[in-house]
Amino acid sequence: MPNLVLDASFLVRALTDGNSEACARLKTIFNKKNKVFSSPILPLEVANALRFSLTDSNVAKAIFAEFLELPIKVINLNDQQKKKIIDISYKTKTTVYDTSYHVLAKSQGATFLTCDVDYYKKAETLGDIELLR
């Protein structure tokens, strides 16, 4: 049973682009016995991405409501893991937010699913990450 960590870029693409690789993958993630995790910042990042990518607030609210129904277990990182996040973000020249999902994935023995090409290019050498379009 694979463990997965999802970020906002993956979920927003999956929920707003029915023709995307991310959408197809999302449909299978919850049909299987995967353990799906994410960070406590995920709802705010999804809401923010919807706010700035969609012009219709009613559509954004409907998609956000759909997101909130997904069975994603939120996991808090401990202080040692938080320190690791900032260290890795400096080494990879990435945001603390993006790096936090990756550190969470590694701590859970999971694969980090993202649609963030820039982050992927900078952090793929860390392993445990998959880029979807």
Q: What is the mean pLDDT of the chain?
A: 96
Split into its structural domains, the chain has a count of 1
In 3-124, alpha helices (H):
8-16, 21-29, 42-53, 57-68, 79-92, 96-107, 117-123
Q: Which CATH number goes with the domain that contains 85?
A: 3.40.50.1010
Confidence bin at 40 (pLDDT 50/70/90): very high
pLDDT at residue 7 is higher than 90 = yes
User: Across residues 21-47, what is the average pLDDT?
Assistant: 94
Domain that residue 54 falls in:
3-131
Q: Whose CA is closest to 9, among 85, 76, 95, 75? A: 95
pLDDT of residue 31: 79
pLDDT of residue 54: 97
Confidence bin at 1 (pLDDT 50/70/90): low
pLDDT of residue 32: 80
User: Across residues 22-33, what is the average pLDDT?
Assistant: 90
Global pTM reads: 0.95
